[in-house]
Structure 1
Amino acid sequence: QLSGQDLGVDLIRTALLTEEERIGQLSEDNKMLSEYANTLNFGEREEGLRNEILALESELSRLRIMHPTLIPPPIPSRPQSTSDSHWTCPKCSEREPETSTRCKLCRLPSLSIPFEETIACRCKYCAPDTVDSSSDTPGWVVLDGLRPI
């Protein structure tokens, strides 16, 4: 028969193994997110966009010279999100439920910190009065440079 102390040791051992598994999963997630972030070459992408903007501005100037009286239509307003209960995977664009912690398709972890984690954490970013999933603060995002969509 197990004594109270043996029972306590078993509970601690089980909790420790669970925590080790969780840390291992978090390490794998961190590695996956870092590898994904390294595939994003924002410098080249930004340079390409700058070149495209210059080409479009040049074309616009040419069209204004050819058709000086033509008035462009008004700029349409940005569509409002139909639902805040989903997030979009930045890697494969798959829509996932807000409660999902990773993409079902590519297995990339969600960039948002799960609510349960914010309660357990206690850091200045996760304090209950400062957490806002729609916020653009770096503390809400697991990996700097990427934002929840």
Structure 2
Amino acid sequence: MTIAVGDTIPAVKLTTMTADGPGPVMTEEFFKGRKVALFSVPGAFTPTCSAKHLPGFIDKAADIKAKGVDEIACVAVNDVFVMNAWGKANTADGKVTMLADGNGDFARALGLEMDGTGFGMGKRSKRFSMIVDNGKVTALNVEEPGAFQVSSADHMLGQL
């Protein structure tokens, strides 16, 4: 079943890079008591993700936060080291929190997993964005395969 507006984010462990190395991020705590703009990409360092998706949220971070968002986060089915390197390569620090869904558990729990094996990518997450308020999904934007429109930072700004 695919997550929908009004649903609670499933309890899953993600990973982020801390000053001491990889650290766990429990979704029920990450989303509790605040508004989070979350977006997901099929893969770090891939063309659309690197040229448009992540840079859009970095560029619009101040505007998004000015609309009452406490944190902006990017998640992908990549390991924490790749997500950390991708964030640094795009100067995401302080603007977008990079979250690794290394085994795809979060994508699967959301019902937003895609099969990228035909492209040599294995199981990944669909491209999407959502607004999560105190653990509840208040807006959900899932892209059609190959598209990049409704999950953009500009689209999300219009929803806030």
TM-score of the alignment, normalized to the shorter chain, above 0.5: no
Q: Flag the structure with higher strand content.
A: 2
TM-score normalised per structure 2: 0.27
Larger Rg: 1
Whose relative contact order is higher, 1 or 2, with alpha carbons under 8 Å and at least 6 apart? Answer: 2
TM-score normalised per structure 1: 0.28
Q: Flag the structure with higher helix content.
A: 1
